Structure 1
Amino acid sequence: MGARPFTDTLVKLRYGALHDELTDAMNELVNKCSAASKGGKLTLTIALKPGKGGQMEITDDLKVSAPKEEKGSTIMFATPEGNLQREDPRQKSLEGIRSVEQEAREIRTLSSATPAQAAG
């Protein structure tokens, strides 16, 4: 009898739990690498410890090094009091400037109107 394929043993470790963890870890790593456009690493370490009666104790360690997604930053300004705010405290404000809210109104398209309707 020849050597048994490694995957035959892998799917039996911890009654299949390791195989499930590897599947989930690989799927998550692929998604994170794709989203970040950066590489990652999945490392499986298997340790063997022989017993006195012919048995073999097998332990595993799964490590995933996923890339971190880049996060945006916020620019804020320090005030003389030591606080942070979005507006530059040195910037002068213009009097009379106000925010104009959008009004709900009927929208007509020119393609559906006749030339006389579009002009009037």
Structure 2
Amino acid sequence: MSKLINPTLKANRQDFADFLANSVPFLGEEATEALNDLVHATTETGKAGSLTLTIKMKPIGGKAGQMELETDVKAKLPAPTKGKTILFTTPDNNLQRSDPRQQTLDGVRDVNQESTAQQQTLRQAPATAAAPLRAVG
């Protein structure tokens, strides 16, 4: 099979950006959104991603000069790095945050217990207005 030679002069060829902007409704906007999402995700994660623009073209049989287009924009965004959690197994094969084999010390609270205790001990300021401040000279 021989290679098809395009008879259109380069000066007469439609610019691809013009094609995107004028020929296919919303394709340029869709590609812009996907590109912006990709830039944000790759910047935030420090990982690679990709953007794929697919244009399928098929001449409509029997109708001179008509072309059917199907477009698709897909962004493969990098997933953010997820944190890890360490849990302990219980004798009943369940998981929990504290080690069931470790003894607890009386009077020692974990962070969650301490936070709850601090919230309970917060006091409200008196509702009555305090005496105004006066200058000391």
| TM-score bucket (shorter structure) | 0.7 to 0.9
Distance 2:85 2:95 in 1: 11
Aligned to 1:32: 41
1:14-53 superposed matches below 5 A: 14-15=24-25, 17-51=26-60, 52=62, 53=64
Deviations 1:58-113 (A, max 9, x none): 11121211111001011111100122111001111113435574977xxxxxxxxx
Question: What is residue 21 of structure 2 aligned with on the other side?
Answer: 11
User: In structure 1, what is the Cα distance between the partners aligned to 2:41 and 2:13?
Assistant: 36
Measured at CA, do residues 97 and 56 of structure 1 come closer, stay the same or move farther in structure 2, by a change above 3 Å? closer
Give distance in 1, aligned partners of 2:77 and 2:13.
34
Q: Give the structure-2-normalised TM-score.
A: 0.67
2:104: which partner in 1?
Answer: 93
Which of 79, 90, 95 is equivalent to 2:90?
79
SS of the residue aligned with 2:12? coil
Aligned length: 104
Shifted more, 75-84 versus 28-37: the winner is: 75-84
Pick from 43, 57, 67 the counterpart of residue 78 of structure 2.
67
What is the letter of the counterpart of residue 81 of structure 1?
D
